[in-house]
Chains A and B, each alone.
Chain A
Amino acid sequence: MIWVNQILQGVLLGGYYAVLACGLSLMFGVMRIINLAHGDLAVLAAFLVWLLTERLGIPLAPALTLVLAAMAALGVVLQRVVLERSLRAGILVPLLSTFGLAIVIENLLFEGFGADTRSLAPAIGSLAYDSWSISDEIYVGRLSVLIFAIAVLLLAGLQLLLSRTQLGRSLRATAEDPDTAELVGINSRAVYAAAAAIAVATAAIGGVLFAMRAAFAPYAGPSQLIFAFEAVVIGGLSSLWGTLAGGIVLGVAQSIGAQLDPHGFLIAGHVVFLLGLALRLTFGSAEARGRLRALLRRSA
């Protein structure tokens, strides 16, 4: 029964990873950039919400709205100032520049807020610890379920945006081939800015949820980036629902690992990620898929 419980908790945790990861996935899908400052941007948003609610006494809802708008704007600035120039310089430079940015953000957060761990749990009252009992041994936290629901809604919203709106069509066209997209009248610069705004805003949502479910500190960004990236890769790069599946695999692996050994949470997550990568490298290419299919046919 304890295992059922661990798996359930892992699935719900996967929802959080999906929220954190979908922006990373979108940015990779559209711009072919992996933003190494993604986790630090999430933590920055958490600190901003904490600052507004705890220090300035602003209620949670307006504080969230304000921070999300600010982070989306920051995404546009990020695109215009850092990513655009990096993209022109080749494939290495975006990694270097976003890594530099990550170091700047986390150390400025440390300078501004100190080493103390904070949490947004007080801001959401009993939601932070209330739970529903399913059986005598299985409890699910209301917050975890809420986060999972947010993940599903967010992914569905992004999916609708991509498939049904003009912006979504422009995003997909630019992702396929920015030069050809320009030829048919798409302003790829504006499309990139929109993608960055969405990506950073979803990172902010992820950061705020992280801050509600756990304690956070200035240097929490890199580990969140790693989790998000692991979810993206396990789920197959740049597919939105794949990100949720990847998040769930990661979450389940971590919570089973935690049950096996006190150190198992992180180790199991990393091992599953590396195994997933190795599997994809072995069976991911077209010829390998053919081989796999032949293998399945023979055994059938």
Chain B
Amino acid sequence: MNRRPGIAIERWTPLSRAASAMTAALVAILAMAPLFLGANAIDRLTTLFIYVLLGTMWNALAGYGGLVSVGQQAFFGIGAYAAIRLSHAGIAVYPALILGGLLAGLFSLLLSSFALRLRGGEFAIGMWVVAELCHLLVNLDGLVQGETGTSLIALDAIAPGHRRDDTYWLALAAMVTLLALVFALLRGRLGGSIQAIRDNEEAAASLGVRVLAAKRIIFIIAGTGCGMAGALWLASSITFQPQAYFGVQWTAYMIFMALVGGLGTFEGPILGAVLFFAIELLFGASGIWYLVGLGAAALIFALFLPRGLWGTVEDRFDLRLLPLGYTVRIAAAAEPTAERER
């Protein structure tokens, strides 16, 4: 890159260095958490990791790819269902869970050629119909017994303590891997392409961005992530009732996390997931009003704070925690020079 005096393009700021080190330390501490945390806390954290995964996946789709899907529960349900099927076929239970998530990813690959050609609202409701259809077809499987459902019996064979820790580590590994993948992709060439597509698809295509390829990568990652989340949810709850997995409420949760945390920011949905987790812990028992509150929050944030909490903080304080974008620093005295050189 041609460097001009007085102008520096920075990716790593002191703050982002500190934040990245903190993130690495936090992951290391979380990885050791089963050694010093109680059973209840481990279960709670597993749930939180699943929420972070879901929020990030939905944000990758909508916040970066401009694809609002009301049907990501299709992958969530298929991840869990595939894990049950594989375990029933004799595959060891943890490999079956991982494969279940990957099979959901494969399904998203098969679906992508069709789904990604839909626009806006068509894509949103088209995906919803796909989810409904998956739900109905899974119900037909004799193993599932319709809405009665079934359970992941193989997990019962493992002692509860071991099971809890293994599921926790799997959830942590899945979350870290997929978030790191999204992060790496957004930092690279794809990040620029995909945001250009979100902002103006035609203009991006005219600049030589391969629109369909870029969208497809995001769509498959989101499908795999939601599938892993479904398999993990199955691992922590053991029962599989189709209604609970293919329900549109999962989309409502994902929208809440991504939108309140900050659509189109990497840190936002993580913050959103923590908030959602806390709100569920505090108000989940109040049932209907809790759901009304979630819907109202999504509505209010969409209307008045579309950048979400983190996006607003970033904008106001010019704060970038993780080194995702670039910061241009222009020294005041050097500015005229730069102008002349142009």
Residue numbers of A with Cβ under 8 A of B are 28, 33-34, 36, 82, 85-86, 89, 91-93, 95-97, 99-104, 107-108, 110-111, 222, 225-226, 229-230, 233, 263, 266-267, 270-271, 273-274, 277-278, 281
Q: Are A103 and B291 in contact (CB under 8 A)?
A: yes
Q: Which has the most chain A C-beta neighbours within 10 Å: B66, B137, B255, B302?
A: B302
Q: Are A274 and B129 in contact (CB under 8 A)?
A: yes
Query: In this complex, what residue of B is CB-closest to A228?
Result: B125
Complex: A85 Cα to B300 Cα, angstroms? 11
Residue numbers of B with Cβ under 8 A of A are 62, 66, 68, 70, 114, 117-118, 120-122, 124-126, 128-130, 132-133, 136-137, 139-140, 248, 251-252, 255, 259, 263, 288-289, 291-292, 294-300, 302-303, 306
Query: In this complex, what residue of A is CB-closest to B132?
Result: A270
Closest Cβ of chain A to B16, distance in Å, is 28
Complex: A85 Cα to B306 Cα, angstroms? 11
Query: In this complex, what residue of A is CB-closest to B199?
Result: A90
- Point out the residues of chain B lying under 8 angstroms from A233, CB to CB: 122
- Point out the residues of chain A lying under 8 angstroms from B68, CB to CB: 92, 95-96
Main secondary structure of the interface of A (DSSP, over half): helix
With A89-B306, A93-B306, A96-B255 as contacts: A103 and B298 at CB distance below 8 Å: yes
With A93-B302, A95-B120, A107-B288 as contacts: A263 and B297 at CB distance below 8 Å: no
Complex: A281 Cα to B130 Cα, angstroms? 16
Q: Are A107 and B295 in contact (CB under 8 A)?
A: yes
Q: Are B132 and A266 in contact (CB under 8 A)?
A: yes
Q: Are B121 and A28 in contact (CB under 8 A)?
A: yes
Closest Cβ of chain B to A267, distance in Å, is 5
Complex: A17 Cα to B313 Cα, angstroms? 46
Residue from the list B132, B298, B306 in contact with A99, Cβ < 8 A? B298
List 27 A–B pairs whose Cβ atoms lie within 8 Å, in order of A's numbering.
Answer: A33-B121, A36-B124, A85-B303, A86-B302, A86-B303, A89-B303, A89-B306, A91-B66, A92-B66, A95-B124, A96-B255, A97-B298, A99-B298, A100-B296, A100-B300, A104-B295, A104-B296, A104-B299, A107-B292, A110-B288, A111-B289, A111-B292, A222-B248, A229-B125, A230-B129, A263-B139, A274-B126
